[in-house]
Amino acid sequence: MNSFPVSILAPIAVLILAFAHPVSADSDIVVAAPEAEVRVVPRAPHLRLVNLPVLEFALRAAYRCRGDVVSLTLSISDTVHTLARGALADQRAAEVRMAVPAQQVAMAASARFCVAGDPESADELRVDGFATASASLRCSHEDGDTVRYASAPLAVRLVCARGDNQEPAASSDER
């Protein structure tokens, strides 16, 4: 009977200690991005997947190094952008815009979003965790080099671009 409260409190205590005493206070990195918005054309009623265009993300990485910053690498899927020492000198943050080709992310699936000829289908769809932004920070100091990593889920808002004369998007099989 007494083991029940201890088994619940133990994980809570571990989390409190982890946040109270970070593993490394000499180098840190955090990456974030606002929700991206992309316009898509209505899809044919028999298709369940939404064809996506290139996705544009605005990433921001805030960082702190003990010693000198060597490089900061940001990535989404297979799209990678590296900033070298010169671009990072005397800075605490970096902002990068990244264009991710549709082939690098999964297509969105929704039966009730942006269906051609169906005005009742939704015109907007928010997808949380659609992709992940990753960051790595390399620092150099008298004791050697350190590399720190961070990641953040990315949200995308799909907006249906309905028009009077638009044809539904063809599937990859119909192209």
**164 has pLDDT over 60:** no
Residue ranges per structural domain of the chain: 24-160
Closest C-alpha among 58, 59, 81, 60 to residue 71: 81
Radius of gyration of the chain (CA): 22
19 pLDDT exceeds 50?
no
Measured from the Cβ of residue 126, the count of other Cβ atoms closer than 10 Å reads 11
Q: What digits encode the pLDDT tens for the residues 49-107? A: 888 899 999 999 999 988 899 999 999 999 999 999 999 988 899 999 999 999 998 88
Lowest mean pLDDT among 11-15, 88-92, 115-119, 169-173: 11-15
Segment 13-37 shows an average pLDDT of: 61
Asked whether the beta carbons of 118 and 160 are under 8 A apart, the reply is: no
Give the domain 24-160 fold. Immunoglobulin-like (2.60.40)
pLDDT of residue 77: 94
* Alpha-carbon span 133 to 138, nearest angstrom: 17
| CA diameter of the chain | 70
Task: Please indicate whether residue 23 or residue 46 has the higher confidence score (pLDDT).
Answer: 46
Among 127, 112, 111, 114, which Cα is nearest to 169's?
A: 114
